[in-house]
Amino acid sequence: MSTLETKVPTVAAGYGESNEKPRGGKGGQPKFIRSDMADVPVQQAAGSTLPLVITRKKGGDDSEDGNYNPFEHRKVEHPTSDLETFVHLLKGSLGSGILAMPMAFSHAGLWFGLVATFAVGTLCTYCVHILVKCAHILCRRRKIPMMGFADVAEQAFLDGPPSLNRWSRFIRFMVNTFLVIDLLGCCCIYLVFVATNVEQVVKVYVDMQWDIRMWILIVTAPLILMCLVRNLKFLTPFSMIANILMFVGIVITFIYMFSDLPAPAERPGIVAPPEWPLFFGTVIFALEGIGVVMSLENDMKNPTHFIGCPSVLNMGMGLVIGLYTLVGFFGFLKYGPETQASITLNLPLEDKLAQSVKLMIAIAIFFTFTLQFYVPVTILWKGLEHKIRPERQNISEYGLRVFLVILCGAIAVALPNLGPFISLIGAVCLSTLGMIVPAVIELAVYHEDPGYGRFKWRLWKNSGLILFGVVGFVAGTYVSILEFHAEFSGGH
């Protein structure tokens, strides 16, 4: 059976049929969640080396009890324990993004980067709390067992002020669009990453003066065939190989990174503010795992343990933030102004062990491309499938896959500078999905009941989050574009 036939099932039409007073509709018409709102598969976080695949949910009848508990109505074939969810959260958040953290610190300074990474990481975690808490409220309000990210956004707009109701379909489209852009952007970054590391190793043994763009084309060619595989089951071995190679490569990289460290005083504690947007975009790219959280929470045996204090989310993200800060701090301390977009590019070229690390991580990221590619293809194909005649669907899907791989290769060839590319994806997509959208969702959900609180503190808090996200979006995008312009004009 193909992956297209084993996608996330939809919410049964019976969900949401309650005696509850209609909310957010005109003329007393209730605005319940649609029967196809659970159609988006679990997303990978940027830099993940293992896709988290949601299990099939079985539909069931819901009671119309006023004290509806969505967790009691969830029917999951293989619910995950708290420990398993913790491990999945680490897999979804720890990946190639950790290799870019030293570069992020180079755009912030040693001590400012240390504080700011903790601050941004805490902010990202808090926004995940907002999203999951609002999902729980909407599930109880509409008597729906579970929702995905786009589901929560759409239903929040339907439940919010009347002025937002008409935008419910748009917010769903926007969330899915940014998820697709983010994941395809990660695929482009992977192509640049693999090509750059392979080029370094090959040049040690062969005097080839090929442009990096030629290496990107070479890496892209075999991926066109690999991405024609439609069943995730056949990609699982590649996932296992990728994780083993990534783990071994990062451990060896740590050995190089912690040897002969200079004194912290030799590195700037803080750099000029114009460089901060690149730091912000890179850290958001590395840390933001909001695409996986709803699916992880939906699969839990005890969903109430996902948020709160202590909770699976707090412990998992605390460990992730700590590891990313550790790598960023000591990576920049080790290499200083010579720090490159991926810490592996700083390893000594003449050292055989370092060469093996570059190749191991390059192979891991190469295999990860096919896994990362699966999710945006699924989202896009689900929107196109019903518009194509059944007898042409197979060839059309293969054509879509080939087109998207070629598109990723073309974008990577056009923008082969790894650093600004990472920052651009983080600033454009993940500041929107990770900060702006959760804040808007909470404003919509709390609009009528229970309200914004004393002195409208929720309104001011979420306005601040939206402003911070917008500033990060605009500044990060602007500075990244300036970096690309400098490269094209010969300024780098």
Give the pLDDT score at 12: 35
Is residue 151 within 8 A of residue 24, CB to CB? The reply is no
pLDDT surpassing 60 at residue 359: yes
Residue 414: count other Cβ atoms within 10 Å of its Cβ: 12
pLDDT digits (tens, 9 = 90+) for 298-328: 888 888 888 877 888 889 889 889 988 999 9
Q: Is residue 40 very low, low, confident or very high in pLDDT (cuts 50, 70, 90)?
A: very low
pLDDT of 1 strictly over 50: no
Please, what is the Cα angle at 470 between 296 and 430, to 5 degrees?
30
Position 427 scores a pLDDT of 83
> What residues does each domain of the chain span?
79-489
CA gap 39, 19 in Å, rounded:
26
C-beta of residue 23 within 8 angstroms of C-beta of residue 160:
no
Closest by CA position to 113, among listed 257, 282, 227, 237: 282
Backbone phi, psi, residue 357, to 5°: -65, -45
Looking at residue 210, what is its pLDDT? 87
Query: Average pLDDT in the 256-274 region?
Result: 91
Q: Identify the band that residue 452 occupies on the pLDDT scale cut at 50, 70 and 90.
A: confident
At residue 168, the pLDDT reads 92
Residue 482: count other Cβ atoms within 10 Å of its Cβ: 15
The answer to whether the peptide bond before residue 310 is cis (omega within 30 degrees of 0) is: yes
Determine whether 29 is exposed, middle or buried from the number of CB atoms within 10 Å of its CB (0-12, 13-18, 19+).
Answer: exposed
CA dihedral 162, 163, 164, 165 (to 10 degrees): 50
Which string of DSSP letters, residue by residue, matches 133-154? HHHHHHHHHHT-S---HHHHHH
Instruction: Output the pLDDT for position 158.
Output: 92
* pLDDT bracket for residue 207 (50, 70, 90): confident
Q: Please report which confidence band the pLDDT of residue 289 belongs to, taking 50, 70 and 90 as the band edges.
A: low
Does residue 450 have a cis peptide bond before it, meaning omega lies within 30 degrees of 0? yes
pLDDT of residue 398: 93
Q: How confident is the model at residue 290 (pLDDT cuts 50, 70, 90)?
A: low
- For residue 117, give both structure tokens: 């990474």
Give CA–CA dist 234/240, Å, rounded.
Answer: 11
**Please, are residues 176 and 376 in contact by the beta-carbon 8 Å criterion?**
no
CATH class, 79-489 region:
mainly alpha
Q: How far apart are the first and last CA of the chain?
A: 50
Per-residue confidence (pLDDT) for residue 235, from 0 to 100: 75
What gap in Å lies between CA 220 and CA 214, rounded to an integer? 10
Q: Which of 140, 172, 127, 159 is nearest to 439 (CA)?
A: 127
Confidence bin at 431 (pLDDT 50/70/90)? confident
User: Which backbone phi and psi does 429 adopt, to 5 degrees?
Assistant: -90, -50
- Least-confidence region, from 6-20, 165-179, 477-491: 6-20
Range of 182-186, 214-218, 383-387 with top mean pLDDT: 214-218
